């Protein structure tokens, strides 16, 4: 059986060229024998391809485009059906060829056959020869059952140990989580206590600073009052010594204060002048 692939070597369509290249490359990868038939250079090939494509497989305009694939005289399909078969690992079935042993399609076909016909059982080539196991009968069967029971007990014991270890690990995990949670709570409490202590220290420091400032202000006020009293006493002594009978003491005190104020203003002006002037 020869696979025929009808192509157009001088096609101006990039899509058709790509499809043709895909079909040819895949057939070469599978090592399938095929023959390329060019419809661009042979009118006979063109007419044969158009006549042998089934009517229901032709497009709406009735003119099939390459690539078209045949197995001898039997129509296989176009690029779309070839691509679908490639995706389904059924290219050999698409081409009408038996899949080679060991290929994906062969394995898939064998699995489908087993599913349809039931479990595959190898037949005894020599029915007259009975195996030793069957001749031994129940004795051999009892031995196998005993060994199987021992294996099950061993597996059961092993499974039990694993389950116990798993339960122990599960029990230990919450205990570790509780310990970690307690440690986190203790650390949080310590941090909170430190923060509170620091806040209390800061408050005490602020109170001390305020108290110190108040005491300083009181001291300054007392000093100022003492200074004013001393100044008034001094002025009173001056007024008494000068015997300004015509002036009252209050008027004299006011004149002295205005004089002192004028002196301070004059002094501040002199200090504010630049040194170069």
Q: Is the pLDDT of residue 139 over 50?
A: no
Q: How far is CA 4 from CA 46, 67, 71, 168, 191, in A?
A: 13, 10, 6, 71, 86
Does residue 20 register a pLDDT over 50? yes
pLDDT at 159: 53
C-beta neighbour count of 271 within 10 angstroms:
7
Assign 128 a pLDDT band (cuts: 50, 70, 90). Answer: very low
Predicted TM-score of the model (pTM): 0.42
Mean pLDDT of the chain: 75
8 against 136, higher pLDDT: 8
Digit-coded pLDDT (tens) for 236-272: 676 666 655 555 667 767 777 777 777 777 767 766 6
More confident residue, 188 or 10: 10
Ramachandran angles phi, psi of 5, nearest 5°: -120, 115
Tell me which of 228 and 124 has the higher pLDDT.
Answer: 228
Alpha carbons 256 and 16: distance in angstroms, whole number:
120
193-225 pLDDT per residue, tens: 777 777 777 777 777 777 777 788 788 878 887
> Looking at residues 74-88, what average pLDDT do you find?
95
């Amino acid at each position: 059986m020869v696979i025929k692939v009808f192509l157009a070597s001088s096609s101006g369509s990039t899509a058709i060229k790509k499809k043709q290249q895909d079909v040819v490359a895949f057939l070469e990868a599978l090592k399938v024998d095929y023959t390329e038939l060019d419809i661009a250079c042979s009118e006979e090939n063109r007419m044969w391809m158009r006549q042998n494509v089934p009517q229901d497989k032709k497009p709406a305009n009735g003119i099939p485009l390459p690539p078209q694939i045949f197995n001898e005289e039997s129509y296989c399909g176009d690029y779309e059906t070839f691509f679908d078969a490639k995706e389904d690992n059924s290219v050999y079935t698409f081409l009408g060829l038996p899949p080679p042993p060991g290929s994906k399609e062969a394995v898939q076909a064998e699995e489908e056959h087993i599913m349809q016909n039931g479990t595959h059982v190898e037949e005894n080539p020599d029915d007259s020869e009975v195996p030793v196991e069957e001749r031994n009968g129940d004795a051999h069967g009892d031995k196998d059952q005993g060994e199987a029971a021992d294996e099950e007990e061993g597996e059961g014991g092993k499974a039990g140990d694993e389950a116990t270890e798993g339960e122990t690990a599960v029990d230990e995990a919450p205990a570790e989580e509780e310990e970690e949670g307690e440690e986190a709570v203790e650390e949080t409490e310590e941090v909170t206590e430190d923060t509170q202590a620091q806040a209390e220290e800061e408050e005490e420091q602020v109170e001390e600073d305020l108290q110190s400032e108040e005491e300083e202000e009181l001291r300054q006020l007392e000093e100022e009052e003492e200074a004013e009293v001393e100044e008034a006493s001094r002025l009173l002594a001056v007024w008494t010594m000068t015997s300004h009978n015509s002036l009252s003491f209050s008027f004299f005190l006011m004149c002295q204060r205005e004089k002192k104020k004028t002196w301070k203003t004059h002094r501040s002006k002199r200090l504010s002048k630049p040194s170069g002037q």
